Amino acid sequence: MATELYDLTIPVLVRALHILSAILEKGAAHAEAQGIDPATLTQARLAADMAPLIKQVQFVSDTAKGAAIRIGGLDPVPMADTESSFPELQDRIARTIAFLESVPREKIDGHEDAEVILQTPGGALTFTGRSYALGFVLPNLFFHVTTAYALLRQAGVPLGKLDYLGPVTA
Amino acid sequence: MATELYDLTIPVLVRALHILSAILEKGAAHAEAQGIDPATLTQARLAADMAPLIKQVQFVSDTAKGAAIRIGGLDPVPMADTESSFPELQDRIARTIAFLESVPREKIDGHEDAEVILQTPGGALTFTGRSYALGFVLPNLFFHVTTAYALLRQAGVPLGKLDYLGPVTA
């Protein structure tokens, strides 16, 4: 049976947020064990003009909640980008998951062909619900989770590919 | 209307391969323009124990063709991992796209609940067609495209987020 838009988005987003949370836990534990200032990790960047780890986590959160809000036509759920520590990032992730889990399936399903408009610094982008999910939300989500993983990996946190892929849920 | 498994996989994979191709083109052009040995880029790694750029591209190819083969129950399409230059990587990507575009929709659609077994060094993983697509193929695909992007970005290739997201196709 074909895949409903809810199943194509909400559980995938929630799963990625749990995986990101577990990756960040390992980062925090590594800093603690090695006596590294956690800010060395939370402020790490892959390149001088790329966003630091904190921002990558905020982008994951924004991408995930934005998906539900734009597809479902829901009210914005503002979250101030004020996080500066691992515990605060975990709290941001938990609040994002709680919001996503509160979104009723009927707000998402059936919106495959509905217009979704994304305002960007470069102008408005027009998608359908499906093209937004497959051509923006999921690529962007995994971009920022992967970048967070790469930042911690490059900083020496003991992480492997299975931390990124997470448990198999058939 | 809910999303068929073909639409959830093949066009998303093809799109990511085109985007990866364009990113690599910019990498090759940068090496040429700056007089950098292209091997400096193709052998770049984010960490000593992470795979170099060439391998990231091979992983994207393997993930993409493996998705069609495993979901569709198709014969393997072996591609020797012998690439060592940007043109060879482009050829690998082109062959992968050509294969994916040859897969008939009817081989993929309807396999949402069919068993998919993935052999890994750590043992066999059992998925359904849908959980494999959403919980393995797409996360893994975007992991390796993002890592390729990050490697080139870190090496100074002039790339931005829009290179990764690609053109909007509503």
DSSP conformation letters of A20-79: HHHHHHHHHHHHHHHT--HHHHHT--SSTTS--HHHHHHHHHHHHHHHHHHHHTPPP---
Q: Which of the four pLDDT bands, split at 50, 70 and 90, describes residue A167?
A: confident
Residue type, A21: S
Q: Smallest CA–CA separation between A112 and chain B, in Å?
A: 6
Per-residue pLDDT at A4:
98
Q: Do B142 and A142 touch (CB under 8 A)?
A: yes
Listed in sequence order, the residues at least 6 apart from B89 whose beta carbon sits closer than 8 Å to its beta carbon are: B24, B42, B54, B57, B83
Mean pLDDT value of segment B28-38: 98
> Which pLDDT tens digit goes with each residue over A11-25?
999 999 999 999 999
> Buried (b) or exposed (e) across A16-38, using 16+ Cβ within 10 A?
bbebbbebbeebbebbeeeeeeb
For A116, nearest residue in chain B (alpha carbons): B170
B147's CB contacts (< 8 A; 6+ apart) are: A146, A150, B46, B50, B56
Neighbours of A81 (CB within 10 A): 14
Q: Is the pLDDT of residue B97 over 70?
A: yes
Question: Given pLDDT bands bounded at 50, 70 and 90, which one contains residue A43?
Answer: very high
pLDDT confidence of residue B168: 78
**Helix, strand, coil percentages for chain B (3-state, nearest 5):** 65, 10, 30
The residues in B 34-93 lying below 8 A from A, measured between CB atoms, are 46-47, 50
Suggest the residue from A154, A163, A164 to mutate for an interface test with chain B (most B CBs closer than 10 A).
A154
pLDDT(B170) > 80:
no
Mean pLDDT of chain B: 96
Whether the Cβ atoms of residue A60 and residue A17 lie closer than 8 Å to each other: yes
* The pLDDT of residue A170: 62
Domains of chain A: 5-164 (1.20.120.450)
Least confident stretch, A112-126, B29-43, B90-104, B144-158: A112-126
Work out the pLDDT band at B60, boundaries 50, 70, 90.
Answer: very high
Cβ within 8 Å, pair B130-A7: yes
Rg of chain A on CA atoms, in Å: 16
Note whether B136 contacts A: Cβ–Cβ < 8 A: yes
Question: Which residue among A131, A136, A164 sits closest to B165, beta carbon to beta carbon?
Answer: A136
- Which residues in chain B touch residue A44, judged by CB atoms under 8 angstroms apart? none
